[in-house]
Structure 1
Amino acid sequence: MNEKAEWDSRVEAFWETFDDSKPQDMLAGMRALVEERPEGDARALAEWGGVHDALDLSAQAVEPYRRALDAGLGLEEQHQVTLQLASTLRNLGFVDESIGLLEQLDAPELGDAPAAFLALALHIAGRPNDALRTALTALAPHLPMYGRAASDYAAELAPDV
């Protein structure tokens, strides 16, 4: 196993045993992992942001997420971090930026997760019809019956202004 794969395995193990009731231990554990990587390592920055997010320290997650995206992640990791950043921004009250990121996110490997978070952001932004349309459109293909009806009802919702 190469060094990067071994590090990835230890990061995965960290998350499997993550315990938000021990925030200082979790920060120290992730800090130790991050410090093993070169300065500015995109994946390490993403994980550092993620541990802050998971500990409800959202304000401290934004910069590492942005730096990870700037440093160059693989496409799937870029999509995941973009979704995490958008969710964090929504939680911090930067709803318009969150919506912008989510509306541009084309990440089929994440399934309907971007649509779910976009619906939340649209709702918080006071755009209930847009939020409901987004949620129904994402949900419709998964309904064993009435999927077409759900799609039709979503299309009938007037856009919020």
Structure 2
Amino acid sequence: METNWQHRVDAVWSAADELGDDEVIRRIDALAAERPDGDPVALFERAGARDSAGREAEAEPLYRAALDHGLAGSLRVQAQIQLASTIRNLGRPIESIALLDAVEGEAGDLHDAVVAFRALAYASAGDARRAASDALIALAPHLPRYRVSVAAYAAELAASA
């Protein structure tokens, strides 16, 4: 049941561009209704559907409910990242930064996403130097050349921010 349900959720997301925002929300809500009340994964999917539709004010309480109801593992990290992005879009970049800082140590392969969204939050908070520094620090290890130089310049930016 669990695998089939997730496959059906994934199918909605795969067709999201063709379906449009309202239909994605309708279908995700219908699938979520198949799960028990308070199911953290269902709440997370409902939040994501609203978030991707630009309905951040509707998404925020659903992300919080998913986290409060025990969303675990990489989905919890994804929810923290998406909630932080939502909060930034709602005009609260400092709160967004705090959420991202709290999850950074356990982000694993989502670490660069945490850094990217935190850089956006710093930019929204008016700290463009810190935003650029964080983004460059995350980017530097992926460069085939100039890795050391970019990391040094990024550290210099952070020191002067």
Stretches (4+) displaced over 6 A: none
Quote the residue 2:102 is aligned against.
Answer: 104
| Gap runs ≥5 in structure 2 | none
Q: TM-score, normalised by structure 2?
A: 0.93
Identify the structure with the greater helix proportion: 2
Quote the residue 1:53 is aligned against.
Answer: 51
Greater mean alpha carbon deviation, residues 61-70 or residues 27-36: 27-36
2:36 to 14, 35, 38: 38
| Gap runs ≥5 in structure 1 | none
CA distance in 1, matches of 2:146, 2:73: 34
**Contact (CA 8 Å) 2:132, 2:154: kept in 1 or not?**
yes
Distance 1:153 1:54, change over 3 A: same
User: What is the DSSP-based 3-state SS (H/G/I as helix, E as strand, rest coil) of the residue aligned with 2:81?
Assistant: helix
The count of aligned residue pairs is: 158
**Contact (CA 8 Å) 1:119, 1:131: kept in 2 or not?**
yes
Q: CA RMSD in A?
A: 1.3
**Contact (CA 8 Å) 2:13, 2:24: kept in 1 or not?**
no
1:118-146, CA deviations, whole angstroms, 9 ceiling, x for partnerless residues? 11100111112211110110010011110
Q: TM-score, normalised by structure 1?
A: 0.93
Quote the residue 1:27 is aligned against.
Answer: 25
Q: Matches of residues 5-154 of structure 1 in structure 2 within 5 Å?
A: 5-19=3-17, 22-105=20-103, 106=105, 107-154=107-154
Percent identical across equivalent pairs?
A: 44
